[in-house]
Structure 1
Amino acid sequence: MEVVAVRRGAVRSVVVAGLLVLGVTGASGVSGASGAPAVFGKGRSGPEADVAYHGRVSLERGRLRVWLVPQNEGPAGLPNATLRVRLSADLADRQELAEGCVRAGLREVMCETGALPLHGRGRHIGLLLALKEPVPEVVVRIDTWWNGGASDRDLSNNQHAVLALDTGDAYAF
């Protein structure tokens, strides 16, 4: 079983600070009408980093497993980032999330990556999410929600959409 080891309380401050900066109201975790993360680096004067996520998802009998490793290809390191996992199906009301992760809506979870050193990897993040009801398939969208104002010119490696069928098979991204 994959487990995430994250500093206690760190994701709370990152997510809350991000929500305050964006002026988000309610529990949906989105900003404005578009739902796009407003603090993602375009037009920012912060460092440049290339955040990437690699991992796999699997769905079996209403239980979704998400395992991933955040990476940073540089040219600067990041002290922290927040990734967002969005689903095409509702999450069950009660979830036991890994430390460093919070629920951000009916279909969203956000997790702290921890430090992303230059040309290095962050913490392994493992989620076991219960869906509200079993579904034959679910689309899992993974992206960076907050990265401390760094610019990222290559969004193709940190924005993923994965279709997982209810077979128990792992789908890599």
Structure 2
Amino acid sequence: MRRSAVRSVVVAGLLVLGVSGGSGVSRASGVSGASEVSWASEVSWASGIPRVSGSARSGPEADVAYHGRVSLEQGRLRVWVVPQNEGPAALANATLRVRLSADLADRQELAEGCVRAGLRELVCETGALPLHGRGRHIGLLLALKEPVPEVMVRIDTWWNGGASDRDLSNNQHAVLALDTGDSYAF
């Protein structure tokens, strides 16, 4: 995995977890093949909340959107997401967050560029989002800790490289998946 990809996913993971302190993280844990990374100079710790250098106001404007499907069958949740960018600027990378209403099983095989960010959360890098183009398709097969009759899946953008996005309606989704094996589109 590229060092910048690990860095963006780990920064997003720290934001999800609400890690505070001033020393940064020296290892991107949870990412297979991850190397030691040191990026404290790229993260500021104002008010105990990590923030990537640069602000949303000074960055480009982009319209990140997600489309995909979710299905649940016998404690196995399938999530397929296609990130895209309607512009007006391209993005080098963004971080997608997936939150569940049920706990994930302890062991997961995650797609490349994805890391677990809590008992019920994952973050995945989208890859480059060209102007009026799509990022890499993200496919997840997640095991739940216990079988449940339904799962609420929330998908949103956690980090977008400091870009401003005026239309959040197409990148914030909540999908209720029933344990029927049926596919629910968003």
Q: TM-score, normalised by structure 2?
A: 0.77
Against the structure 1 CA distance between its residues 22 and 67, is the aligned structure 2 distance closer, same or farther, given a 3 Å change threshold? closer
Q: What's the C-alpha RMSD, in Å, of the aligned pairs?
A: 2.5
Structure 1 residue 93, shift from structure 2 partner: 0.4
Partners of 1:50 and 1:154 within 8 A in 2:
yes
Between Structure 1 and Structure 2, how many residues are aligned?
157
**Equivalent pair of 2:12/2:123 in contact (CA under 8 Å):** no
Residue 114 in 1 paired to residue 127 in 2?
yes
Unpaired segments ≥5 residues, structure 1: 1-6, 27-36
Q: Kindly tell me: are residues 22 and 134 of structure 1, through their superposed partners in 2, closer, same or farther at Cα, counting changes over 3 Å?
A: closer
Structure with greater Cα Rg:
2
Alignment partners' CA distance in 2, 1:87 and 1:21:
17
The aligned runs of 1:98-113 (5 Å cut-off) are 98-113=111-126
Instruction: Give the direction of change, closer, same or farther, for the CA distance of 1:11–1:135 in structure 2 (3 Å limit).
Output: farther
Percent of residue pairs identical? 83
Alpha-carbon contact 1:84-1:111 (below 8 Å) kept: yes
Counterpart code for 1:115 = A
TM, length-normalised to structure 1: 0.83
2:138 aligned to which of 125, 133, 144? 125
Aligned partner of 1:87 among 88, 100, 108: 100
Which residue identity is paired with 1:152? D
Task: Give distance in 1, aligned partners of 2:7 and 2:56.
Answer: 24
Q: Distance in 2 between matches of 1:95 and 1:22?
A: 18
Please state whether the residue corresponding to 2:60 is helix, strand or coil: coil
Larger RCO (CA under 8 A, 6+ residues apart): 1
